[in-house]
Structure 1
Amino acid sequence: MSHTAHIPSHRKPRRSASKLALRAGVAGGVLGTIAVAGAAGPANAEPVTETIEMPTLGSLENGAGLASAVAASAEASHQEALDQSLQTQENAALQKAAKEARTARAEADRKAAAERAEKARLKAEQEREEQEAQERASRDRARTQLSTTSSGSSSDGGSSSSSDGGSSTGSDESTTQAPSGSAAAIVAFARAQVGDSYVTGGTGPNSWDCSGLVQAAYRQAGIDLPRISYQQSSMGSSVSLSNLQPGDILYWGSRSGSYHVAIYVGGGKYVGAQNSSTGVVERSLDWDTPSGAVRIL
């Protein structure tokens, strides 16, 4: 080996299998040509003494092995590229599946939250309705007791013996005779709405404004009243506050220009839809003295 054999630029390049096969074929053709020429030449011609180097079997085998190695390498590269492509497709499929799973989970959570909110709303509404029913039942019981008490007081009122054998008759607002007929229906309806809310323009059944309550109460007696407060106070005949009867309409302001109305229920009290803070209440006349009253019955 020469002293420059280890330097890459001085090494002989390896010949590919195709080049080796080509050289072997060329050499074989040359030998065949020489053999034919020798046979056709003169008998006294001198024999050819030139020697041509033939490719050895070992070099041909090395070329075939190199081709096999190149083919194997190409096959390995192709398989690696195919594996990478499959891996990329698998990764993309996994990412898509994960994204769809997150979307489905978020949608499920949203639906669950909406269902919980709806259940809570329905429960709160049911509790509110039950509370309103209890309050209404309580008002009905109180109204029944009040009617019974008023009836008993009127039946017991009259003459009573004094210590000197005389008799005296006494009556005041606390022993006012209970309303009857149309007045009783109006008063009973008005008192049954105590505790309901006040809403501007409300006409029931659980929320009222002042004239809406009066109109609905009179409807129980078969009487149709106008919707507006000043129209209601303009009807019937005017009565003094000292001569009130159950069922009379109380008004605040002028008779033809009232801004609020209520129903006198007896005993110096009235029922009216006051405002959004108090709702429908039963109050004494002294709590908010009306401007006047009218009688329609």
Structure 2
Amino acid sequence: MALRAGVAGGVLSTIAVAGSANAATAAEPVTETIEMPMLTAALTSKVALSAEATQQAADGYQYRAEQQRAAEKAVKDAEKAQHAAEKKAEAAAEKQAAERAATAERAARGAERTDLSGVRTAATTSSSGSGASAPSQDVPAPASGSVATVVAFLQAQVGDAYVMGGTGPNSWDCSGLVQAAFKQVGVDLPRTSQAQSTAGTQVGTANLQVGDILYWGGQGSAYHTGVYIGDGKYLDAANPSKGVVIQDLSGYPASGAVRVL
């Protein structure tokens, strides 16, 4: 029993000592500290200044970028406005040119349709029952073979340009070409279509002969003339798009005809 008591006491003592040591160790305070870096006033000021400079630089970049975009937009807008102005001016110029051309053509047509005193000749009829008419005395009688000369001259002009008021040698209007053709054989015709439609003897379009002068419109108020060259065809200075051409009479029937040869 004594032995048991001693063993037990020894064990308890050991436990007590161990407990005391652990308690002492646990109660010992931690004295180690970590020192944090301190921001001085100078460092703080430098950091603030750096941040402000960075912000100012960013603001400057943004301002310059906005200015550049605005300048580019202004240039593009100016280019568009200039292009639109050029197109508008071009359209206005074309319109004015067309109006001037139309005015000139109307004036020329009006001049051709004006009766000129001293150049109109009326056809005379023979005595009752004959049904024939005599040539006007204002148109001289041509020499033999004159029709062929007139037709040859006209055919030589095929392909020439039509120009209002043109009298040759490379551009013609309708009455200018007819006048020049008959002048080759000594026949002095009036200058305008209106007057040419009354020169010589009036003949029906159903009884045409080579060399007859065809006219479109009324007698004395014709607006176009040409020359019958046979086989249902005529030659004329037609218009600016065609020039001097040979055409089929069935496509554009004449209103009347006069014969001076």
TM-score range for the pair, normalised by the shorter chain length: 0.3 to 0.5
Could you tell me the TM-score, scaled by structure 2's length?
0.44
- Structure with bigger helix share is 1
Could you tell me the TM-score, scaled by structure 1's length?
0.39
Q: Which has the higher contact order (CA 8 A, sep 6+)?
A: 2
